[in-house]
Structures are given as C-alpha cells and as structure tokens.
Amino acid sequence: MPNLADVLERRGLRVKGEDSPSWRVIVEQGSVILADQSSICVEEEQSLAVNPPGRRSFVNQTYAIVGEASQSPCFWNTEDIRGSGGAPYQRMVPGSLRVYNADRSKLYRPDCDYSYDYYWGTVKRHPHGAIAENEILSLDYEVWLCRYDTVVLQADGRVMIAEGQTEAPESRELLLPDPPQIKEGIALAYVFTGWGEEALYNGEIRVLEENSLYPHLQLPQVYGRYMDATPREYYVEVLSATKADRLEVRIAAMGRDYGLEQVLTEENMRWLEAQAVVKDERVKLLLKSAYGYSVDWGLSLDFTAIPLERLRVGATYRITATPHSIYPIDFPATNSLDLIPFENTRFLEGFREKLFSGMPVRVAFYGESTSRTGRWPYLFVRSLREMYPDTVIHTSNVAIGGENSSKGAWRYEREVRSVKPDLVAVEYMLNDAWDSAEQREAGMRRILGSLREDGIPCLLLTNNGMNPAFGRSFDEVGEVHQLYRRLAREYGCAFIGGYEYFRQLHRCGIYFLTELKGNMINHPYGNVDPEWGSFDCVLARAVYAAITQTSLDDHAI
C-alpha cells in the first residue's frame, strides 16, 4: 500500500467543504504519480461524510473549589491538572453545569453561590454565596469535544475518512488530540472538527456594505488569515472622514462569546470605542470579549483603494469570516525545520569546537516558563549527549516562569554569569510581548550586552505563540520575534525563530490551539505527561541542527 513518501507528483485532488456549510467534504478529481511511475486516479468528485465530534458528560465529579469571584465569566483559577481527579475540563457546554454539595443534597445557584467560566472550565465560590472556602463539591457538566480526521486516498482509487481520537493519551490532560497517523494510503488533508460548531467551513471572508444605495462601489479589502475556530461577523462603521485622509471608525463583532458561551447578535454585540485611523493604514478587526478586552483573530481592513470622496460617513461594512476546518497536506510534505529561520550560526563556532574536543561544557537556559518547564531544553541536550558521548555536558536552567527580559536582566550576574556557561540559550518572547516596545528592547539589550561583554556565545530563540482570546495576538508576538531577530544580528548572536513554525502550523495540517497542550493559552506540552506535544520536539531539533550543523529526522527526538 503506497503512502505519502511514495508520491512523486499530485494533480488535483483538492479537499474542500461544501459551498453551503455541512458535515461533508468534497475531494475533487485528480491523480497521484508514484515513485514506480504508476498512478492512482480519482475519476469523479467524491463526497464524504464527517461525524461531528459531539460532547462528553461528566457526572458526580468530586471537586474541591478553588478561588473566588463575584462575576461570570470568572477566568482561570491557577489550577493546572484537568479532568477526573482534578479541575473540570475546559470548553464546557453552556448551561450544562450543575454544582452540588458533596452528598448532592443541595444544588447551588449560578451567579449567586458560584461564578463560572465555560471556556476555562472554572468554578469559583461567590463571596456572598453559600459555598465555603475549599468546600468539596459534586459537579455534573458536559464538554465539547474536538477531533482530527484524515482524508485518505487508497491504492484502488477510493477515498475514505480515517477518524481520529477525541481525547489525550493521558486522561488528566486537556482534550486536545493530534491527527491520526496513517500507515496505509496517501493522506490528502486533515479535517478539524471542534467545540460545538455546526458545520465544516472553508475559511472564507466576505465584505459588503450594509444598506448601501450604491452596491457597485468599491469595498475595502480584508487581509490576514482568520484564526478563530468559530464563524463571526464584524461590523465597521465609518463615523467621520476628513480631507487629511483620517477616518474615525468603531468596530463590533457577532458570534460566540467565549467564557459565557452565549451568541452575540446585532442586539447585544459590544462596540469598541471609536478610534481615529489613517485611511491608508490597515484597521485591525477586533472584538470586545466578555472579559472586557480586545481580541485580534488575525484580520484587518484596508480602505486604501477607496477614494476619500466615496467613503460615506455613516456607512457600515459587514465582514463575515468562517474558520478553516480543512487543512490540505502539502506535497511535497512541509518539513517543519524549513519553516524556522536559522541565522548567524557562525557565532556558535567556539562552542562547537569545545564539543568536538571533548572538553566539559555547560549550557544555561535563561528565560520564561517555556524554557523552565518545557521539554525542548532537555530533548536538545539529550541529543547532544548521544552525539558526543565522550563530552561531559552540564546544564543550568535558570529560567523563571512569568518573567520578562527586563526582570531577567537583573539576575544576570548572580544566576547566569556565576555558573560560567559555555553557551546561553535566551528565550523571553511571550512575556516580553506584554511589555511596551521600549521596555522589551531595553531588557533584551541589557542581557545581550552582558553576554557579549563576557564573551559568552548566545543562542536567541523565539518559541510558540499564544491564544489571542487570552494573550497577545499573532502580530503582537510577531513584533517581539522580529525584534529578537534584529538584535541577534546587532549583538552577534545565533538566532532560531521557532515562532515562524508556530505561526505556520496550518501548513503542517495543525490548528494552532490544539498544539497548546498544557492550557490552550501558551504552553505546548502536557501538565501531567510532559512528553505529550510535538512543538518542543521540533524546536529541539532546530536548536540541535543550529549547533551541530547537522539535522535530525522527525523521529530522532
């Protein structure tokens, strides 16, 4: 049975959803040419049914309540372990939560006795309610499931759906499964289904002007990739337009309201405060969340092509965005390392020479939680030790979760220089994204300046991104990625841009949120099973390749 590695050429065989969203995918006609010059053909368009992932019920789950809040949604309560024996799972079905006392003789009241958050799966005691601190409760609830399926071409030309799992290998991890691995047949696409959605979508964007008397007039253009997993409609109202090419606009959005999980409509959608923008600059399409802050799912609106005199004050533009449910598998298959920029690796030559000579070396990891508790530092070091068994390789992990480079810079002399490292891997991108541009640059300059002054080789990295619903947007994190890239050149540091891989996970068939295994926010590894999650494996391979000037195949780490 042939597989993807046997394919020389692919013609057609595009996989897409139906024009009217449904639970079916269409495989267009086409063929593949195999290494032995034979071919597999699909003569006619195929329509395949995909099963919705559904939901899972939990009944009488014992839970010791943590935290206090007077309002829903009540956000995270600092708990890590999820599922049976720990906190409730994330992505609760709205309205399904029932909270009882331990013997189930009393049913507590939402927003009176407790506050909740359906996205986080959080239950906190209400300060004026009947639940005591640390009280043992009994919970009933349901959670939405998600799943990857694979569209597979078989040797006889038939096309089938290989259905994946809806849970993690470890029951106390989040329900964020990976795509199923196909042993026989040629994988054409992954289909991601998730979290209570009503159909499969093609990631389409449409713009129209509401109540326009001139529907033929030119419309603004939308740029970006829509990164949310649920459909939305954005409304952009033009409040004023001046001859100085300045506009005043306000923005609102409809669709699922994370945390409360209600559906925002024209009647209850939240308008952001009016903002003044330059006409020739793109306007980010933001929504105001139930938590009170703005969320950027990757789209922006450009008025550049519309003459100022044709911009009607009072005009409202409606932008509909649907998620990407179908992830085509590239041919040739995308190599993860090809998406990661490697720069200035010549500055690691001194460290390489020590490795080759067999002299003892020490690697320090200096950064935030993704270095402190992430897998990539030790996967990388393990591979180095296997490559250089006669070299004693020590490590000093001086990273601190939640720290940014401004704070980390103050620890340099006491905790970094003092261990006398031969190489320092620096990684502060996610927490630096919360700082101002001036603060983050000053903090990183101080660190890199100290390393250069002490003559210590430095490897500056960027890691995974965040969930924009609760963290920084792709663009905001990308600004830190570009800053590090620029500073690495200026200070003579090697640079590995792992964030570029995260930003393009869709090219590898992955919806980025399912790669954030630890919390669906910013950690790409499990809380109970640290071996769970592939992102750190890719980053470790990149670090290894940069240092050794060799590469590892996908299964070597």
Statement to judge: residues 506 and 362 lie in one domain: yes
Q: What's the pLDDT score for residue 554?
A: 43
pLDDT beyond 70 at 104? yes
**CATH number reported for the structural domain that contains residue 163 in this entry:** 2.60.40
Same domain, 476 and 510: yes
The DSSP H or E segment spanning 543 is helix 535-548
Helix (H) or strand (E) holding 448: helix 437-454
- CATH of residue 432: 3.40.50.1110
Q: Compute the average pLDDT of residues 224-238.
A: 97
Plot region of 196 (φ>0 → left; ψ -120 to 50 → alpha; else → beta): left
Q: Is residue 119 part of a domain?
A: no
Helix axes 535-548, 349-357, angle to 10 degrees: 80
| Rounded alpha-carbon distances, angstroms, from residue 550 to 338, 368, 395 | 14, 27, 21
Q: Crossing angle for the helix pair 474-491 and 437-454, nearest 10 degrees? A: 30
Angle at 465 between CA 463 and CA 468, to 5 degrees: 170
- Rounded mean pLDDT of 53-81? 93
Q: Which amino acid is at 208?
A: L
pLDDT attached to residue 216: 56
What is the C-alpha separation between 161 and 312, in angstroms, rounded?
A: 49
Q: What are the phi and psi torsion angles at 433 (to 5°)?
A: -65, -20
Give yes or no: residues 438 and 527 share one domain.
yes
Decide if 139 is inside a domain: no
Asked if 349 and 496 sit in the same domain, the reply is yes
Distance, in Å, from the CA atom of 62 to the CA atom of 108, rounded to the nearest integer, reads 15
Query: Do both 282 and 317 map to the same domain?
Result: yes
- Residues whose CB is less than 8 angstroms from the CB of residue 534 and which lie 6 or more positions away in sequence, other chains included: 178, 515
Residue 330 is predicted with a pLDDT of 81
Judged against a pLDDT cut of 80, whether residue 47 lies above it is answered with yes
User: In this predicted structure, what is the pLDDT of residue 213?
Assistant: 55
Share of the chain above pLDDT 70, in %: 96
- How deeply is 454 buried, as exposed, middle or buried, from its count of CB atoms within 10 A (0-12, 13-18, 19+)? middle
Contact 188, 156 (CB under 8 A): no
**Entry pTM:** 0.94
- Please count the CA atoms within 13 angstroms of the CA of 234 that sit on its side-chain side: 28
Q: Does a structural domain hold residue 68? A: no
Q: Evaluate whether 429 touches 477 at the Cβ level (below 8 Å).
A: yes
Chain segment 392-409, per-residue pLDDT in tens:
999 999 999 999 999 999
Task: Write down the mean pLDDT value for the chain.
Answer: 93
Q: Which residue has the tokens 């919970």?
A: 139
Whether residue 46 contacts residue 39, with contact meaning beta carbons closer than 8 Å, is answered with: no
- At residue 549, the pLDDT reads 81
Backbone CA torsion sign across 5, 10, 13, 14:
positive
Give the whole-angstrom CA distance, residue 519 versus residue 513. 9
Give the residue-averaged pLDDT of 153-171: 94
* Domain end call among 289, 323, 357: 323
| Residue 555 pLDDT level (bands cut at 50, 70, 90) | very low
- Is the pLDDT confidence value at 271 over 70? yes
Per residue in 310-338, pLDDT (tens digit) is 888 888 999 999 999 999 988 767 789 99
190 and 223 in a common domain: no
281 is in which domain, residue-wise? Answer: 205-323
Q: What is the largest CA-CA distance in the chain?
A: 78
Is there a domain that residue 405 lies in?
yes
Q: Supply the pLDDT for residue 260.
A: 96
DSSP string, 109-139: PBTTTEEEETTTTEEEE-TTSSPPTT-EEEE
345 with 303, same domain: the answer is: no
**Helices vs. strands in the chain: H and E counts, helices first:** 9, 30
On whether the CB atoms of residues 220 and 303 are closer than 8 A, the answer is yes
Flag whether 137 is in a domain: no
Average pLDDT over residues 85-89: 78
Going 298 to 304 to 310 to 313, the CA torsion angle's sign is positive
| Same structural domain, 301 and 385 | no
The CA distance from 466 to 469, in Å, is: 9
Which residues, including other chains, have CB under 8 Å from residue 64's CB and lie 6 or more apart? 134, 135, 136, 137
Mean pLDDT across 335-347: 93
User: Which candidate, 286, 290, 282, 238, places its Cα nearest to that of 264?
Assistant: 290
d(CA 319, CA 299): 10
User: Under the phi-then-psi rule, with left for phi > 0, alpha for psi from -120 to 50, and beta for the rest, what region is 91?
Assistant: left
What CA–CA distance (Å, rounded) separates 273 from 341? 38
Which residues neighbour 142 within 8 Å (Cβ) at sequence distance 6 or greater? Answer: 55, 56, 57, 58, 92, 93, 96
| Domains in the chain, number | 3
Of 323, 346, 366, which one is at a domain's C-terminal end?
323
Residues 182 and 217 in one domain: no
Q: Is residue 535 domain-shared with residue 435, that is, in the same domain?
A: yes
pLDDT at 347 over 80: yes
Write down the pLDDT at residue 217. 64
Q: What is d(CA 482, CA 500) in angstroms, rounded to the nearest whole number?
A: 10
The reply to whether 369 falls in a domain is: yes
Last residue of a domain, one of 278, 294, 323: 323
When pLDDT is averaged across residues 437-466 and rounded to a whole number, the result is 97
pLDDT (tens digit per residue) in 483-496: 999 999 999 999 99
Q: Is the pLDDT of residue 557 over 60?
A: no
Instruction: State the pLDDT at residue 88.
Output: 87
Give the H or E element holding residue 140: strand 136-144
Instruction: Report how far residue 179's alpha carbon sits from residue 516's, in angstroms, rounded to the nearest whole number.
Output: 14
Residue with tokens 């795509």: 179
Q: What mean pLDDT comes out for the span 368-387?
A: 95
Q: CB within 8 A of 96, min separation 6: which ones?
A: 57, 140, 141, 142
Asked if 202 and 326 count as a contact pair (C-beta separation under 8 A), the reply is yes
Yes or no: say if 144 and 93 are a contact pair by the CB < 8 Å rule.
Answer: yes
Is 256 part of any domain? yes
* Residues 293 and 417 both lie in one domain: no
The reported pLDDT for the residue numbered 9 is 87
Residue 83, in any domain of the structure = no
pLDDT digits (tens, 9 = 90+) for 207-226: 988 765 555 567 899 999 99
Q: Looking at the structure, do residues 527 and 450 belong to the same domain, yes or no? A: yes
